[in-house]
Amino acid sequence: MSRINGFVGRRHFLKLAGVGSVGMMASVAGCDLSANVKQAIAPKKTLTDAIAANRNPVSPEQALKRLLAGNQRFVQQKRQYPDQSLERIRMIAQAQYPFAAILGCADSRVPTEIIFDQGLGDLFVVRVAGNVVCDTVIGSLEYATAVLGSQLIVVLGHKRCGAVAKALQDKPVSGRMGLIIEGIKPAVETAKLTTKNLQDNAVIANIKYQASKLQENSTILSRLVRQNKLKIVGARYDLDSSKVSIVYS
C-alpha cells in the first residue's frame, strides 16, 4: 500500500475511489470581461490537482490555529464561508482530506462547521450527546486519523451541557440514555471535589476525561500520538459568547 507520512497515499486512494482527472468548471468573476477571459484561458482544476494539493496532512499546530481563527471570525461575525462553492463540491466528491477531526456534543446549538467557519471536506465530525467516547466513536476517529490523515482531534464540549447536568443529578435514566450518563459519571465524580461552579467544572472535567479516554483505549491513536502524527486536545464552547477555549492539551 502506498502511504504518505504514515497515512494512506494518493495512488492507493485514487485506486479505491476509481477516479482519474475530472475537469472542473471555471467560476464566473462578476462583470469584468478581462477577468472572465483570464479565467477562460486558465488551466482548469481537476480532482487530481485537489488530491495533490491535500495529500500531505496538516500539522496539529496548523490545524488548531486554523480552527481557532475560524471561531474568532464566527465570534466577530466576520465569517468567510470557505469551501462551500460548487467547485468545492465537485473537487471533493471522490476523496476527502479533512484537516481535523472533531468529537462534539450532539447539541443543536453547537454546529461544528459553523462555529469554526469551515466548509465541505474540512472537518471529520463525530457527534454524540455529552461528547462521550465509546467503541464506535473510537473507530470513527481511528479512520479519520489513520486512513484520512487528520493529525488533530478536538473533543468539543460546551457550557450548560444537558447530558452533564443529568449526570450530576445522579438519578435513574430510562432507556439507552442511561448509557450516555454512565459514560460521563467518572468525570462528574472528579468535578464534585470542587466547590465552585460545579456545572461548568463538570463540563470541563468531562472534556478532559473523554479526551484522555480516546488515547487510553485506542492503540492506533496512542501510536500516532507517540509518533507525533496526532494531537488530541479538549475544548469548551461558550453558548453565550460563541467562543471556543482550549481546556486540555
Annotated ligand binding at 240? The verdict is no
pLDDT at 23 over 70: no
Q: Which helix (H) or strand (E) holds 124?
A: strand 123-127
Which one has a higher pLDDT value, 137 or 28? 137
Annotated ligand binding at 31? The verdict is no
Q: Chain centroid to CA 179: how far? A: 24
pLDDT at 182 over 90: yes
Exposure string of 105-118, with b = 16+ CB inside 10 Å and e = fewer, is bebeebebbebbbb
* Residue 120 phi, psi dihedral angles, 5° rounding: -65, 130
Flag whether the pTM goes above 0.75.
Answer: yes
100-104/152-158 β-pairing: parallel
pLDDT per residue as tens digits for the range 99-136: 999 999 999 999 999 999 999 999 999 999 999 999 99
In this predicted structure, what is the pLDDT of residue 43? 52
Annotated ligand binding at 83? The verdict is no
Annotated ligand binding at 105? The verdict is yes
pLDDT per residue as tens digits for the range 65-83: 999 999 999 999 999 988 8
Angle at 106 between CA 244 and CA 182, to 5 degrees: 105
What are the cell numbers at 115? Answer: 462555529
Domains belonging to the chain, first-starting first, are 57-248 (3.40.1050.10)
Provide the 10 A C-beta neighbour count for residue 8: 17
